[in-house]
């Protein structure tokens, strides 16, 4: 049985596997949303999904294009105002997993989604932080999902939009932040976890068919590897089916 799949599918499926029934997950749009809903539709049917638009316990049948599509509200347990969402729910410390993506990341999983170049005279103006700065510190832990590439996995960020483990790996503790920060970085090629001591994001699993050379070519720094690196289990038939199914439904719905 040969099951073919894209790197992107591998990334989304691996991210989904990290989620548990008991998680309360603050979901970003794009790959995080796909992963969270895939988890909900496969091994974690009881997971609570929260979108920053205020929808709590939402169960969309189609992936939303925006963070506030009507589908999210229609299928939610309830919908609260945005100030309440950020005050009582995110800052309230009720979220177990925050799911982030970004334009650029460094070895300590700090993220940039603000600017490339100087802030006041930017080369590229990116959308900005949105919920990310406070998601990064107020959730129990952070999962990040991003496709690798030398312009995305950079040596030094031009701007820190949200803190991972800080510029030296010691900043969370130094700033009195009690949450764990990024515990998993799931890419299209491999999975990183922070080293217990240094907090540098360290490769713990490589996706089937991917080589260390490929990873090196798509990362601006020389990434650390764990002592025991395993091969990521390939997508199961069910995982692929469910993911492709929801993506097909989504595409049809948004094109309408």
By CB under 8 A, tell whether 145 contacts another protein.
no
Q: Which stretch binds another protein (CB under 8 A): 11-19, 162-170, 189-197, 232-240?
A: 162-170
Backbone torsions φ then ψ of 78, nearest 5 degrees: -160, 165
**142, 182 contact by CB (below 8 A):** yes
Residue among 52, 171, 200, 239 flagged as catalytic:
52
Site string for another protein, 100-119 (x = CB under 8 A): --------------x----x
Residue choice 8, 43, 68, 234 for contact with another protein (CB under 8 A):
68
Tokens of 3: 């099951």
How would you classify the pairing of strands 182-186 and 190-194?
A: antiparallel
Name the helix (H) or strand (E) containing 32: helix 31-41
Using the rule CB under 8 A, give the single segment among 84-92, 141-149, 213-221, 227-235 that binds another protein: 84-92
Show Cβ contacts of residue 176 under 8 Å, excluding neighbours closer than 6 positions.
none
Establish whether 171 is a catalytic residue.
no
Contact in structure between 193 and 226 (CB atoms under 8 Å): yes
Residue with smaller CB distance to another protein, 138 or 232: 138
Nearer to another protein, 159 or 192 (CB): 159
With beta carbons less than 8 A apart as the criterion, state whether 56 and 89 touch.
Answer: yes
- In the bound state with another protein, the residue whose beta carbon lies nearer, of 168 and 236, is 168
Residue of 5, 26, 99, 159 that binds another protein (CB under 8 A): 159
Query: CB 245 → another protein: shortest distance, Å?
Result: 19
> Tokens at residue 116, please?
């490339």
């Amino acid at each position: 049985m040969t099951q073919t799949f894209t790197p992107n599918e591998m990334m989304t499926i691996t991210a989904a596997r990290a989620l548990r029934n008991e998680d309360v997950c603050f979901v970003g749009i794009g790959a995080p949303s796909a992963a969270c809903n895939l988890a909900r539709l496969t091994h974690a049917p009881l997971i609570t999904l929260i979108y920053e638009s205020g929808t709590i316990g939402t169960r969309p049948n189609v992936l939303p294009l925006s963070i506030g599509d009507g589908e999210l509200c229609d299928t939610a347990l309830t919908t609260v105002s945005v100030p309440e969402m950020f005050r009582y729910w995110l800052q309230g410390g009720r979220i177990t997993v925050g799911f982030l993506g970004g334009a650029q990341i460094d070895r300590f999983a700090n993220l940039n989604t603000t600017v490339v170049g100087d802030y006041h005279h930017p080369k590229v103006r990116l959308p900005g932080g949105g919920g990310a700065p406070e998601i990064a510190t107020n959730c129990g832990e952070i999962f990040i999902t991003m496709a690798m590439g030398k312009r995305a996995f950079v040596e030094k960020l031009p701007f820190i939009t949200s803190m991972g483990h800080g510029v030296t790996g010691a900043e969370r503790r130094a700033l009195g932040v009690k949450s764990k920060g990024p515990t998993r970085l799931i890419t299209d090629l491999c999975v990183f976890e922070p080293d217990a001591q240094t907090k540098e994001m360290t490769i713990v699993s490589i996706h089937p068919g991917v080589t260390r050379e490929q990873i090196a070519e798509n990362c601006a720094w020389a990434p650390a590897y764990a002592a025991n690196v395993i091969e990521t289990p390939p997508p199961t038939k069910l995982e692929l089916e469910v993911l492709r199914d929801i993506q097909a439904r989504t595409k049809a719905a948004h094109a309408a």
